[in-house]
Every structure is written in structure tokens, then in C-alpha cells.
């Protein structure tokens, strides 16, 4: 299937869409998209539109304050210089990849957040079905 979507916070602010990237190809049952969106797409026909509300615990999860950490600057490469909003690739203690977003830069350490930017927020996906492709 090919879809267009607009992702909105609970307050209606648009935080993502396919206007920049173009329509997205998705395969139902592959785990690529939230189950609530898969369910909404089931039975839709090309051109149909649906709005899907997803509670934070079923979307990007609750915020976890233990994922806000201080990282000694000595542990970071010297270039590029860390800036608020910059993202760092890291690993959990279990070896899973994660992305940290720098919140604050101090002389000795940076404060970084491992939460998804939409953690703790209910979201809405406005989805339009653009094409149905037969599985190979």
C-alpha cells in the first residue's frame, strides 16, 4: 500500500507529514506502522481518508526521566561541537541503538534526552490511501 499521512500532536500541531518525503509504501502485517493505522487501512479504498487517534502509551510511550542523562564532554568527539538539538547515536546497556538529543551544553557535560520527541503525547495520524499494490 502507498499512503500519505499528517502526524499531529494532541493539540493539533503538525509535527510530520509526507509532503516533504513523498508518499510512503507500507506492507500490512510487517510491523512498519502502528497497529491502529494498520487496522484503519484495512478495508479502505484508494482515495479514502481516515483520522486515527493514538494514545501516548500506544504511540511513542510515556516520558522516562531516567533517559535524561548527563554525558561528560570528554566522552564526546571534539568536532562537531555539541549544540542543543543535535542528535547523538548511542547504545543502551543492552546494546540496543538509541538516539539522544542534546538539551543543554555545559563546560564539563551535556544533558541529553533519550526519549522520543513525542514521548508522553497523544498523537493523531490523518491517513490517505494512495495505492494498493499486490504482494509479490
Which three-class secondary structure string do you get for the chain?
A: CEEEEEEEECCCCEEEECCCCCCEECCCCCCCCCHHHHHHHCCCCCCCEEEEEECHHHCCCCCCHHHEEEEEHHHCCCCCCCCCCCEEEEECCCCCEEEEEEEEECCCEEEEECCCCCCCCCEEEEEEEEECCCCC
Q: What residue ranges of the chain are covered by domains with CATH 3.10.50.40? A: 2-60+118-131
Q: What residue ranges of the chain are covered by domains with CATH 2.40.10.330? A: 65-113
Give dist(CA 15, CA 48) in Å, integer: 22
Phi, psi of 36 (to 5 degrees): -65, -35
18-46 tens-digit pLDDT: 988 899 999 888 888 999 999 999 999 99
64-98 tens-digit pLDDT: 999 999 999 999 888 888 999 999 998 888 888 98
Match domain 2-60+118-131 to its CATH number in 3.40.50.150, 3.30.1280.10, 3.40.50.2300, 3.10.50.40.
3.10.50.40
Task: Return the CATH class of domain 65-113.
Answer: mainly beta
Give dist(CA 68, CA 112) in Å, integer: 6
Give dist(CA 40, CA 38) in Å, integer: 5
Give dist(CA 115, CA 105) in Å, integer: 18
Could you give the percent of the chain with pLDDT greater than 90? 75
Amino acid at each position: 500500500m502507498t499512503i500519505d499521512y499528517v502526524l499531529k500532536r494532541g493539540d493539533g500541531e503538525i509535527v510530520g507529514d509526507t509532503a516533504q518525503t513523498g508518499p510512503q509504501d507500507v506492507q500490512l502485517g510487517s510491523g512498519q506502522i502502528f497497529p491502529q493505522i494498520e487496522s484503519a487501512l484495512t478495508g479502505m479504498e484508494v482515495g479514502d481518508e481516515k483520522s486515527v487517534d493514538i494514545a501516548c502509551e500506544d504511540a511513542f510511550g510515556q516520558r522516562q526521566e531516567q533517559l535524561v542523562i548527563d554525558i561528560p564532554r570528554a566522552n564526546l568527539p571534539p568536532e562537531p561541537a555539541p549544540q542543543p538539538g543535535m542528535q547523538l547515536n548511542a547504545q543502551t546497556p543492552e546494546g540496543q541503538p538509541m538516539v539522544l538529543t542534546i538539551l543543554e551544553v555545559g563546560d564539563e557535560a551535556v544533558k541529553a534526552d533519550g526519549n522520543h520527541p513525542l514521548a508522553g503525547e497523544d498523537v493523531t495520524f490523518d491517513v490517505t490511501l494512495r495505492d494498493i499494490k499486490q504482494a509479490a
